[in-house]
Structure 1
Amino acid sequence: MYENYLPLLGGLAGRTPVELNGMPHGMRAVTVPVRRKGETRVPRDRKGRTQPTRVDVLAAEPTLLFSPPDSVSKQDLIWVLSRETRRWSTVTGRFGQRTDVVVDQLIRAGGIVLRCEVDQDRIKLGQPEGWRLSHAWREQAPDELAELRPRRDPDEVRAELLSLLDEARDHPAPMTKRRARARERLMIERAVLVRVPPGTGLVVPEGTATTAKSWPTYEAALRAACKWLSFRHVPGAAELAGRAWGDTHVTWSAARMLVFSQLVGQRFELAVDGADVEIRLCGPLLWQHGNAIADAARARPWIGLPRDGMWLVGRVECSADGILVIENAETFKKVSANDKITRSWLCVWGKGKAVVNAAELINRLPGRKVAAWMDLDASGLEIFTMLDKAVEEPVRPVAMTLELLTAGQPRRRAGREEQAKAERYDRELAAKLEPLLSGELAEIARHIKDTGRAVEQQVLHERVLPILPALLDSI
C-alpha cells in the first residue's frame, strides 16, 4: 500500500508542481494554496504566471505506507510522531547538527512534508518554516506511538480493561436496544480477556469477535467502546477520544474506527456524532459547491470527498455507467490511470474493510452496474459479502476467479509461525463465509478453507489490468 501526497480535496485545490533550482533528487516542490475571492487557488502574479512565496517539499515518488529510516532512533521517532506539525526552530532545537540529514531522510521516507520559503531572486528553496506529518504517518501515529513507548505490565493492562468492562456493564445509563446489544458484545470480549493466561504478552486475545490485528488498536477501541456505553447521548469523536484516551486531539484511525464499530455493533458514523470518512474517487463524477468544483474525471490521480459531507452541501452529478469498488490503494491507483475504464466507470476506494463506506454513495447513485475487485483471500471474500449486503444493487465480482487464486503467487508471511497463523485465520474465516456465497465465490471459499491459500491484488496486476476493461464491459 502506498501514500500519495495531498489525499484530500482541500489539499489538492491550489496545488501545482514548481521547478526550483537546487532541488534534491527524489524530492519535489508544490505550491501552497492562497485564498482569493473566496476560492483556493495557485499563487500567480498579474500576468498569470505561477509565483509562489512558499512551497511544500515532499517525496517525488510513492513511498511505503510506514517505513521510518533506520538511522532515526526510537526516541526521535516518538518525538516526530507525537505532534502533527513542528516549527523549524523546534526541529533544529531537537536535532542540532543532524537536522538536515534527519529531515532529508524523513521526507524521502514519506513521513513529513516540509514547508519552505522561496528565494525568488535565485528561484530556489529558501529558509524552512516547519514540517507536518504526511497523511499516512498522521493516520498511523497513535498506534505506532503505543508500540514505541515504554512497555506496561500486560497483566495489569488486562486487569484495567476488565475493570472498565465491569464499569460499562454496571453503568446506570438508559439501556436502549442498541446499547443492550453493544453491552452483550463487550461482555463477550470480557470473557475472552478473562481466559488469557497470566504472563501472556500484549497481543489480541484468541477468540475476539473483532478483526483487530494489533494490540494498540484493540485496546484503544475497547476503551472507547466501554466509555461510549456510559454516555446518555451520542458523543462526538473528540469527546469520546478525550474520555477514552485522555486526549481530544488523538486521531481516529481507520483501524480504530472499524474495531470500535465491531465492538458496539454500529457503524462508526452512527455511534459517534460528527464523524465522516473519506472516499477516493476517479471517473465521471462531479461535485460542486458554489465556486468549488471537484471533478473526479479530471483529477490525477484521484480526488477524496467526505462520504457524508458531499451530500450535505453542494451537488453531485454522475454520468458513470457503472461503479467499480476496489480493496487496495495501489490497485485503485493503477485502475484510475486507465482512461478506458474511468471514461464510463466510477472507481471507488475506501481503505480495505472500510470500503463498505462506499455503500451510501452507491445507493445514492441508483440504476448503475456495481462491480467489486477484492483480494483473493478470506478477508477479501468477507469484504465482498459486507459490501453486497449493504448495497441495494447486485454486486458482481471482477477478477475474483478460482483460476487466478490457484495460479497467482501466494502470499507469504515473514516467518513460519506468522504464515501458519495467517493460513489458519483464512481457513476458519473461509469456512464461515462459504454458506453465504454462491457460484465461483463459494468455490474460492472452499479452496481457501482447504488450503489456506491467499493471493493479493497487487501480484495479479500484470494479468488482470490489461483485460479489466473487457471484464467490465462484459457485465
Structure 2
Amino acid sequence: MNAHSLEFLFGESAGRIEVPLPGLLPPDVKAFTVPKPRADDDDELELGAPADRVRRDRKGRVKVRQVDLLASSRSSSFALPATLTKRDLVWVLSTKTERRWSGLVTQFEDRAWPSTMDLVRSGVAVVRCTVTATKTGFDLRPQHLRLTAGWQAARLDHLNEVTGRPDPATARAELQNLMTNIVELADECLLLAGVEQGSPLRAPAGTRAGTKVWSVYEDAVRAACYWYLHEGANGELTAKDVASHAFRDSKRWTPEREAAFANIVNKSFTEAVKVNDVEILMRGPLLWHVGSVIADAHTSEPWIGLPAGGLGLLGTVDTTAVRGVLVIENKDTFEQICQRTDVYDRWLCVWGKGYASRPLVAFLSGFAELPIAAWCDLDADGVGIINNLSVRLGRSVEPVCMGVEFWRTGPYRRQTPSELERGRARATTLAAEGPLGLRALAEAIAPSGEGREQESMYDDVLPTLSKVLSSLES
C-alpha cells in the first residue's frame, strides 16, 4: 500500500464530482459540482448509501451549470497566502457570507484572478463560477467568493492575528494570572512566563494545546481554567456553561477550540464536558489538522475523539502511516485494542458504536485505497452491522475473527425468547443475502439465534490480531 495523505476528507469536496476543465485552471485547483442541500434523513439508516450531494436531471445525469473551485491539495493547514497584503487579508477575513466578483475586482484590481486562486489553493476560499459550453471548450465566469467552512468558523481568530490585536504583554500577563494556583496548568504557566519580552503574540512553544495561534490558545486555556476550578473532571459541566464563562467574544465552540481544549485537559471533548454532538473515537497513526490545531490519534491516550459536527469542516488528515482501518463494535473491546501498540502502530482503530452513523460512514469513505475491517459480536446484529457498512460504503468490509469456529465454542450471551426469535429471523435473512464471508456464520446462528460477545474472545483473538490484520494489507 502506497503512503498517502487524505485531503478534504471532511470538507468542501465531500460528496461531489470533479468537473474536468482542461486549460482553464491552475494545476493545483480543481472544479467540482455544486452540491445540493443534504436531506434530513436519520443518521443511522440500516440500508442505503450516504446521501448523494450531486445535482442531477430527471434521467440521473449530472447537471453542470455551475462549479465550485477548490484546492486540489494543500501542503499545510490553515496557512494564509503570503502573496496577499495585510489590507487584502483583513478584507477577505472580514467576509461574513460572500464577496461578489465585482467586489473582488475592485479590491484586487488586475490581481483579482491570481489573488483569488491563491486564496483557493491555500484552502481559505471557494469560488463559485458559471460554466457555458462553447465551440472550442468551456467558458468559465467567476460569480462570487466565500470562505470555506473551516475558515468561516475561525475567521475572527485569524483576523485578530493579522491585525495584531490585542497587546502581547498585556494578554500574556492576564492569562498567566488566570493559571496561577491551578496545579494542572503549572507547566503551561511556566511556558508562557518564559516567552521573551517583545515577542509577537503566539502560543508558547511546547504547549499541550497543539496550536501556534494565540487566540485559539487563549480560549483553550481560559476554558481549561474554568474547567479545573469548577471540578470539570467529574463530567458535570456542559460545553455551553464552560463557553459562557471562558470565552469573551463568543459562546460558541469552534473545532479549533474543542481540539486545543481537549489537548490541554488530556480528555476527549465529550468526556470533558456534556455536549449534544457526538465524537468518533479512534487511535492509530493519524494526524488531524483542524484549523491551526494538530491532534495526534497515535500519541493521545487512551484515544482521541473527533467531533462528528466537525466532519463538515475543512480539515487535513495525514494517513501516511495508516495501513488499514479496523472498526470495533463494542466500547470495552475498543479500549482493549487501544492498549496494543502492535495493532494501533499500523492500523487506525475506530469505535463503531453498533450500526455506523452517517458521520462515521462519511469518515470511512475517505479510505478508498486502504483495507477496512470490522470486528463485531458473533450474532445476527454483528453480521448485520458489517452488511450495513458494506452497502453504505459500496465496498467490501473484511470481518475479523468472526468465523464459525469462534462462535461454536461459546459462551453465548443470555437473551430473552423474543431476542432469540429476532436473532433467528435476522440470521436466516443474512445467511441468504449477507456478505459472502459471513453467510456461514449467519447460517450457523439461524437455528437458535444464539450470539457470542467479543469480550469472551479476548484470550483467543487479541494476541494474534496484529498478524490477522497484517494479512489484509496486501
Compute the TM-score of the two structures, normalised by the length of structure 2.
Answer: 0.50
- Higher relative contact order structure (alpha carbons within 8 Å, sequence separation ≥ 6): 2
Larger Rg: 2
Compute the TM-score of the two structures, normalised by the length of structure 1.
Answer: 0.50
